[in-house]
Amino acid sequence: MSKKNKLHHFAENETFGNMFQLSYEQLIEGFKYRGKWNNGFFGNNNDLTVELGCGKGEYTVGLAHRFPDTNFVGVDIKGARIWRGLKNTDESSLKNVAFIRSRINLIEFMFGQNEVSNIWITFPDPHPTPIKEKRRLTSPQFINRYYKVLKPDGIIHLKTDNIIFFEYTLDVITEHGHELIYSTYDVYGEENDEVLTQIQTFYEKKWLENGTKIKYLKFKLKKLIIECPIKNLSQ
């Protein structure tokens, strides 16, 4: 994409009422819809699903079409990519979709405690080198952030072409005691669920054309046990 087109998209992004371009400082100071997405922005009490690294918004918009009684927020740092999702949302008159342009590692400043029902991670950068493990979206460091926004029974979904990243995530789930609900090494060979097979991202289409099998899993976070201090009954 040319620099001219990017600048045009950035400018047009500002005109959409469901787009929030948030800096680190703005989030730290307090985002007005954090903890108030449903009542404050969407005007309902529906479940909230968040897609991290949403790119052009194919999954965010695709899910919103299929589940009109659920609210969706796509998060990505690339505003030029989000523009496509915004255009599709506007052209389809979808009222249950919003987008945030910001860094994913600030997720706990975008959403409140127990506010999110589902997190979708679709074809993220696998950060294959060990030195970048902490940047993987299913690393223990990121999962600790998800604890701050997911409901106790919230579900994390991962869809990826990268087998090393997929198996890394399986290892994280096992080693940290999270609950694996389902996993497959071949979505299109084993699944009939249209959510998994009929919604395709830009990168997913590329990998499928190359004959790469698409992997998918979903899991719940291990319940945290909060120890309460024992009162001294003799006092």
Angle between helices 79-91 and 58-66 (to 10 degrees): 20
Active site residue ranges: 125
Cα distance between residue 12 and residue 175, in whole Å: 45
Q: How is 22-38 classified by DSSP, letter by letter?
A: --HHHHHHH-TTTT-II
Q: How is 58-91 classified by DSSP, letter by letter?
A: HHHHHHHHH-TTSEEEEEES-HHHHHHHHHHHHH
- Contact between 219 and 180 under an 8 Å Cβ cutoff? The reply is yes
Please, how many CA atoms are within 13 Å of residue 69, restricted to the half-sphere of its CB?
0
Beta bridge partners of 179: 220
Question: What three-state secondary structure class fits 116?
Answer: strand
Cα distance between residue 43 and residue 178, in whole Å: 33
- Contact between 179 and 220 under an 8 Å Cβ cutoff? The reply is yes
Q: Which CA distances in Å does 53 have to 45, 58, 125? A: 25, 11, 9
Question: What three-state secondary structure class fits 143?
Answer: helix
What DSSP state is assigned to residue 42?
A: I
